[in-house]
Structure 1
Amino acid sequence: MCPAGTCERMYARPHAALRPGVHSYRGFRVTHGEPRQRLVVPRGTVSLVVGFGPGLEPGGPVGGHGGKAVRPTASLATGLHTRARHFGHRGALHGIEVTLAPWAAHQLFGVSMNDLADTVVDPVDVLGRGFQELTEALRDTTDWPDRFALLDSALARWTESARGGRPPAGELLEAWDLLVRTGGTISVRDLAAATGWSWRHLETLFRRQFGLTPKRLARIVRLRRALRLLTTGSTPADTAYACGFSDQAHLTNEFTTLLGMPPRRFLAARGTAWRSSHWVAG
């Protein structure tokens, strides 16, 4: 939806060799008559935004905890976020967003994902000069399919380079899948037992390759499930029960802590003014 100004969006799947770690590409060119603000909710994925024009203005997380505000930037990279964060722009955006699983970002960036948790950084800080060269090549290419092909080549090359991080062990991916399948309700002890590792070893690997401990990641997974249920018509009370919260008050407290507002207020805001904003990452 673009009620004012112009919007151009293009979506593509990454090359099969990059999947499932690299989830999607989203090209965008947006102009509005006035600045826009967006609340970006935690989503369990990593974003790499290649900007071609005026930059985004990342704000701090709700509640003022778990991160800090950073300078406006045309391009950015984020780790996993545990709280919603405000983003704004001056009325125009142009670029491509790459969405990745955290372990794929670990391989690509070659850093501990714990260093990027609840953080927004300049991609040059983790990808080096090659990112600047890619940005220039993408900016000079006007056809979206050609841009996506350039991304395929660059991401494959960087992932295979010596700077890339170690691929995740199969047991670690199984632990991730189990945590997601259970909606974040499985205990850390049971999760560790499923891998055959100690909970301390599991926690160390989660922090390094995903960015968060199993407990903190489970919190995001449960929040995401609650959001899906609420936005499809489930009542707060039914949602709290289905997602394993102790009661509706527990659900409300979690929303207020992680999103900055209770469920009903979030749904009301999502259905009105926020829906017209282009920058949606959640």
Structure 2
Amino acid sequence: MAASTVHTRSGQGPGGSWEFAMGSPHPRLRPGVMSYRGIRLALDRPRRRLETPIGAATLLLGFDQPVRISRTGRSPDTLVSVYCAPTTMPAVGEHGGRMSGIEVLLTPWAAFTLFGTPQHELVNRTVDPDELPHALATSVGELAAALAALPGWEERFGLLDEVFARWWAAGTPSSERVARAWALLVRTGGSIPVPRLAEEVGWSVRHLENRFREQIGLGPKAAARVLRLQRARRLLADGQSAAETAALCGFYDQAHLSGEFKAMTGYTPREFAQARQGPVAVSPAADRLSGEATSLVLPVRPNDWSVPGAHFSKTWRVG
């Protein structure tokens, strides 16, 4: 399959260099495989980022150094390649300043097809994708090594197209009705009521909930919460007021928006916007979804970071 056009953004400064490469999967793989994002960071200090819930599953194919991912109430996971199912919880990712790999965003039902694992078993967890009970001819670790050996992002994305097409053909078929229900939720920004969603696909509410837990991970109500928050973040980032955003996204009022925002990110909308413009600002290219504020760069205390293989000086301070 021919590789798509790759758009690359890079920069260099006193703190080091960064590069992000965006590519679209082959049309044969869409909409299940949503996007490819190549990442190469060579920073002079560790980096700690908060990632907010989004309406996608995430597969990170790491090339070298590990990342450590923490969630409230769970022990941190230190992995080179990572799979994260949809979640209603924020996660904090940390690395020693050097990181490279490819982040693949998947619709949750496509992740079910590729990995054959009931998604409710993976909600609010971070796992090594090679520990999932799939029967793939090529392991994720082998795929990551093959990608790292290629000379450029275009070749890497082309290889991903080929491998995902093979995995897709051998995978567990997902339900067309689940995919249709998910598309309706996405198109309405999570505002369609669950009974109407069930009616649209010809299922009872209970059956819809059961199939969503299997192939999406979250139930339809929780998935709708994530998608409403996703739309709200996008509108707020575009300059919409909190009151207007609450009305447009189906929240009862501004207080309801603020409460949901804090429950799923740890910040109110105002706090989140202020943190995005803080001493360590986020490059728009670093956000996981184009045109949406999904991430925060957090302060790091050097003694808190102890991932094996990370090398950095302990004499710096943030800001």
1:46, 1:100 within 8 Å by CA — same for their partners in 2? Answer: yes
2:81, 2:141 within 8 Å by CA — same for their partners in 1? Answer: no
1:91 and 2:100 aligned: no
* Aligned equivalents of 2:84, 2:142: Cα separation in 1: 20
* Aligned equivalents of 1:188, 1:30: Cα separation in 2: 42
1:133 maps to which residue? 142
**Aligned residues between the structures:** 274
Deviation at 1:2, TM superposition (A): 5.4
Tell me which amino acid in the other structure corresponds to 1:156. Answer: A
Deviation at 1:167, TM superposition (A): 2.5
Tell me which amino acid in the other structure corresponds to 2:219. Answer: T
2:147, 2:156 within 8 Å by CA — same for their partners in 1? Answer: yes
* Aligned equivalents of 1:177, 1:20: Cα separation in 2: 9
Deviation at 1:277, TM superposition (A): 9.3
* Aligned equivalents of 1:244, 1:277: Cα separation in 2: 27
The within-5 A match list for 1:61-210 is: 64=72, 68-126=74-132, 127=134, 130-161=139-170, 164-169=171-176, 171-210=177-216
1:38, 1:274 within 8 Å by CA — same for their partners in 2? Answer: no
List alignment gaps of at least 5 residues for structure 1. Answer: none
1:219 maps to which residue? 225
What per-residue deviation string (whole Å, max 9, x for no partner) do you get for residues 242-276 of structure 1?
Answer: 22212211111111111101110101111232415
1:22 and 2:33 aligned: yes
1:32, 1:91 within 8 Å by CA — same for their partners in 2? Answer: yes
The structure carrying a bigger helix percent of its residues is 1
* Aligned equivalents of 1:145, 1:179: Cα separation in 2: 32
* Aligned equivalents of 1:124, 1:174: Cα separation in 2: 29
* Aligned equivalents of 1:105, 1:253: Cα separation in 2: 30
* Aligned equivalents of 1:165, 1:70: Cα separation in 2: 30
2:57 maps to which residue? 46
Runs of 4+ in 1 over 6 A off after TM superposition: none
RMSD: 1.8
Tell me the TM-score normalised to structure 1 length: 0.91
Deviation at 1:24, TM superposition (A): 1.3
What per-residue deviation string (whole Å, max 9, x for no partner) do you get for residues 148-201 of structure 1?
Answer: 22211211111212xx222322x3222222222332222211111112211010
SS in 2 for 1:72: strand
Change (3 A) 1:205 1:23: same
Change (3 A) 1:80 1:2: farther
